[in-house]
């Protein structure tokens, strides 16, 4: 483990589903650089596979 007191103003987010996307946007909007890492070819996660979402029956896309 490298010991360092120097802080870095960026955050790594692992996973680009709805949670990863939201946290990335919030951080980028608050002054932090975000590295968003996604193992699949695109973001969206499971939510992108859903037809509608409850309880509003909005289109998941």
Partner 1 sequence: MNIELSTLTDIIGVSGEKGNFSVTIRKNPRYVDMEKCIACGLCTKKCPRKVSDEYNTGLAKRKAIHIQYDQTVPLKYLIDGKNCLYLTRGRCRACEKFCPTNAINFDDKEEILTINAGAVILAPGYKPFDPSDMSHYGYKQIPDVVTSLEYERLLSVSGPCTGHLVKPSDGREPERIAWLQCVGSRNVSDCANGYCSSVCCMYTIKQALVTAEHLSGDSVDQTVFYMDIRTHGKEFERYYEDAVKKGVKFVNARPRTFSPGKDNTGVCLSYVLDNGERVTEEFDMVVLSVGLEASEDARYLSETFGFELTDNRFVKTDALNPVTTTCDGVYAIGAFLSPKAIPRSVTEASAAATAAAVALSSVRDTMTQAKTYPPEKEVTGTEPRIGVFVCSCGINIANTVDVQDVLEYAKTLPNVVFAENNLFTCSTDTQELISEKIKENDLNRVVIAACSPLTHEPLFQDTLREGGLNAFMIEMANIRNQNSWVHSDSPEKATLKAKDQVRIAVAKVTFNYPLQRQGIKVVRKALVIGGGLSGMTAALGFADQGYETVLIEKGDLLGGAARNLDTTWNGENIRTMVDGLGERVREHAEIKLMLNTRIKSCSGSVGNFTSIARTPDGDQTIEYGVAVMATGAEESQPEEYLFGQDRRVMTHLQFDEELKTSESVVKASKTVVFIQCVGSRDEKHPYCSRVCCTHSVQNAIRLKKLNPEIDVYILHRDIRTYGEREDLYREARQLGVIFVRHDLDRKPDVYAADKNLYVEVFVPILQRTIKLSCDYLVLAAAIIARENKELNEFYKCGVNEDGFLLEAHPKLRPVDMTSDGLFIAGLCHYPKPVDESVAQAMAAVARAGAVLASEVMELDAVKAYVTDNCDGCALCIDVCPYNAIRLETTSENGRKMSRVTTDTAVCKGCGLCEASCPKSGIYVHGFTLDQLEAQVDAAADRLERSIEHA
Binding site for partner 1 (CB under 8 A): 1-58, 61
Residue 15 vs residues 1, 10, 58, 61: alpha-carbon distances, Å: 24, 16, 23, 18
Least gap, CB of 58 to partner 1 (angstroms): 7
Least gap, CB of 60 to partner 1 (angstroms): 9
The span from the CA of 45 to the CA of 35, in Å, is: 17
Token look-up 């802080």 returns 7
């Amino acid at each position: 483990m490298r010991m360092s007191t120097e802080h870095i103003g960026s955050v790594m987010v692992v996973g680009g589903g709805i949670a990863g996307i939201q946290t990335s946007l919030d951080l980028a909007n608050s002054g932090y650089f975000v590295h968003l890492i996604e193992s699949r070819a695109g973001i969206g996660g499971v939510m992108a596979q859903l037809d509608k979402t409850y309880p509003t029956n909005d289109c998941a896309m």
